Structure 1
C-alpha cells in the first residue's frame, strides 16, 4: 500500500473517532468518495491497525443505526413553518 493512502486511512480513522463523523461527512472533509472512505475503513484500516478499525466500525455502526432519526429531523426542519 502506498504511503499516502496509509496516511489518509489513519487520518480518516482519527477524524471519525474524534468527531463521530458519518461516512458522508468524512468523505466531504477529505474530498474523497463515500466508497473510498468505506474501503479505507473496512479493508485498509483492518490491515494497518485492526484495533483502531474495530473502534471506527463501532462509531460508523452507531451512525448507521441513528440514520433514520437524522433523516426525520431533516424532513421536520424542511417543512417547519410551511405547514400552516
Structure 2
C-alpha cells in the first residue's frame, strides 16, 4: 500500500490504535519501512487527524515503556529453545 500518502497515514494510525501494535508490526503489515510509519503517524497524521494522532501516541508510548520486557522475554525464549535442542 504505497499509493496515497494521506490515506496510508490514516490507515496506519487506525491499524496501530485498533490492534495496539508496534511500529515494526505495522510496517510489516503495510509493506513499508519503520521510518515511513514513524513519519506518517507523527508528522503527517498530526496535520490530517490530530485526534487520531494523540491516540497513536498513547499506544506508542505504552510500547516504549514495555519494550525492555519484550526484549527480555525474547532472550529468555531464545535460550529455552537452545537448551531444548541440546
User: Tell me, which stretches of 5 or more residues in structure 1 are unaligned?
Assistant: none
Shift of 1:39: 0.4
1:24 equivalent in structure 2: 24
Query: Which whole-Å CA distance do the structure 2 matches of 1:44 and 1:6 have between them?
Result: 7
Moved over 4 A (4+): none
Shift of 1:58: 0.4
Shift of 1:24: 0.4
TM-score (norm 1): 0.91
What is the CA RMSD across the aligned residues, in angstroms?
Answer: 1.6
1:33 equivalent in structure 2: 33
1:51 equivalent in structure 2: 51
TM-score (norm 2): 0.89
Query: Which whole-Å CA distance do the structure 2 matches of 1:54 and 1:15 have between them?
Result: 14
After superposition, the C-alpha distances for 1:39-66 in whole angstroms (9 at most, x for unaligned) are 0001000000111100100000100110
